[in-house]
Amino acid sequence: MTVKQLSLPELADACEALGVTQVGLWREPVQAYGVEAAAKLVRDAGLTVTTLCRGGFLTAISPAERATAVADNKRAVDEAAALGTDTLVLVSGGLPAGSKDLPGARERIADALAELGPYAEEHGVRLAIEPLHPMYASDRCVVSTLAQALDIAERFPAHQVGVTVDTYHIWWDDQAPAQIARAGAGNRIHTFQLADWTTPLPEGVLNGRGQIGDGAIDMRAWQELVEAAGYTGAIEVELFNDGLWARDGREVLTETTDRFRAHTRP
């Protein structure tokens, strides 16, 4: 998503040229290219798919909408398995229109995971609940903290449901270090993502994630916490940023790998 201006073949080429061997993919471009074709493309380029983003949006109240969402998440699990990744990231969904009930919405996510967790396990896929920054609580994700994400995840086996740790969403939270330790102790850190916090936020606050190093977040400090908690998986960089998307994709990918090396430890 960081370089969504690149087509999948362009992305595979650029990764190969830069020595990048792992990539996180999003469903929309994969579906547009064809799931099997995308799987072959990345395989042939020697790329490993770290995660598929994203399932979720499981907060609807109406039974019909809930059934549609669960079916879509099962397709997302199938796609993850086809791409050879073991992790599907979940963005939980916001409040249904007219609702002011955050705890109720969180309960409906847990209800849906009771069906999706076993389905994912059968396909060799783990679900990774991603807490999103509290500024998305009403319209995108009622799970706002790692503690809330773990409260839901821990109702299920860790190989079914864990969490996504994304610096952009948790950097402000003084409880997050302890929650990272809790997640690690339970083998529930299913992926670790980086983005920096820059201001002013753009209208809609969706596409203003900062390039690594441009903002307020100490990336190395979070990396150390996550690794101290036992995480040994890939570190993803996920930037939603209109400014980066307007530039040449290969140039942005090069810059991003440079920034990644400068702001993380080996």
Interface contacts to a second copy, rule CB under 8 A: 95, 99-103, 133-135, 137-139, 144-145, 148, 171-174, 197, 199-205, 215-218, 221
Distance CA 87, CA 190 (A): 7
Tell the smallest beta-carbon distance from residue 185 to a second copy (Å).
21
Tell the smallest beta-carbon distance from residue 145 to a second copy (Å).
8
Q: Which residue, 254 or 264, has its beta carbon nearer to a second copy?
A: 264
Beta bridge partners, 55, equal: 90
Tell the smallest beta-carbon distance from residue 123 to a second copy (Å).
32
Distance CA 112, CA 132 (A): 19
Tell the smallest beta-carbon distance from residue 206 to a second copy (Å).
9
Q: Which residue, 15 or 152, has its beta carbon nearer to a second copy?
A: 152
Q: Which residue, 7 or 207, has its beta carbon nearer to a second copy?
A: 207
| Cβ 239 vs Cβ 193: under 8 Å | no
Amino acid in position 84: G
**CB within 8 Å of 107: residues ≥ 6 apart:** none
**CB within 8 Å of 36: residues ≥ 6 apart:** 82
Q: Which residue, 136 or 253, has its beta carbon nearer to a second copy?
A: 136
- Would you give the DSSP letter of residue 199? S
Distance CA 97, CA 259 (A): 40
Q: Which residue, 16 or 242, has its beta carbon nearer to a second copy?
A: 242
Tell the smallest beta-carbon distance from residue 177 to a second copy (Å).
10
